[in-house]
Amino acid sequence: MTDSLWFLGTGASVATAERDNTALLVASAGDMVLIDCPGGLVRRLRLLGFSPDQIGAVLITHTHTDHVYGLPSLIHSLMRIEKRLPVFGSRESIEFCRRLLDVFHLLDDKVLCRLEFQILEEGAAFDPVRGMSAWTAAVRHRPSSLAFGLRLEGSRRELVYSGDSSPHAPLFERAGSCDLLIHDCTVPSRLLEANPTLPDLHTDALSLGRLAEEAGVSRLAPVHFAGHLGFSAREIEREIRRFYTGELIIPRDMMRLPIGSEVQT
């Protein structure tokens, strides 16, 4: 399998007809890593021709509903399949996932898919699957929110995903040398005044373009669009382009991006 990234969803917490909650699937050397797990994940995987049992690890950025509420459904689909499935996240994220799964008795012995919970600290290095190394960085959203960097050993490519995050200069500095930065871009800047809590939790398009340009990010993919607030992807693109001169990818749900190559759908 060619090293690839699938944008399983690109929307914010309220899904629209065009965009479901944000989640990513990264494949390298035949192994797959799922980043965040909103609802409808099993169907999305099936539509792409994958089976849930192909997932080799799950990474959780934080505990907000649109990033974890599909985890019980995913594990339920695997309950009769004997396999181990590592789940990585901060202490808060892992403890929350345990409680959520326990509500549905999905940690009982009858579930043949055995979860291996792995607590990560800020700055931790780990190997989610064979042929892929990763690191974490703190971001400003929830106190325990984590961004993830993934290095694909076969192609030597590195991806960085912010998760939900307000503008955080240290992450952009870390991502400046990566091959692709996938970053929160919840709204265009004109909506910040009407939504005063957003700047403390999420990144607007104008700030994203400026910070990515200042950090020297060569390839940028904005995600987590709150389209229910009334704007188009074209507006996001225009605003990012006021500062950013690198390669800009405006992803759609279910889009495949071969790592280090051209966009394919």
Which residues are catalytic, by number? 66
Count CB atoms within 10 A of the CB of residue 84. Answer: 10
Residue of 43, 121, 117, 45 whose CA lies nearest to 84: 117
Q: β-pairing, 132-138 with 125-129?
A: antiparallel
Contact 60, 67 (CB under 8 A): yes
Structure tokens at 27: 């494949």
| 3-class DSSP string for the chain | CCCEEEEEECECCCCCCCCCECEEEEEECCEEEEECCCCCHHHHHHHCCCCHHHEEEEECCCCCHHHHCCHHHHHHHCCCCCEEEEEEECHHHHHHHHHHHHHCCCCCCCCCEEEEEEECCCCCEEEEECCEEEEEEECCCCCCCEEEEEEECCCCEEEEECCCCCCCHHHHHHHCCCCEEEEECCECHHHCCCCCCHHHCCCEHHHHHHHHHHHCCCEEEEECECHHHCCCHHHHHHHHCCCCCCEECCCCCCEEEECCCCCEC
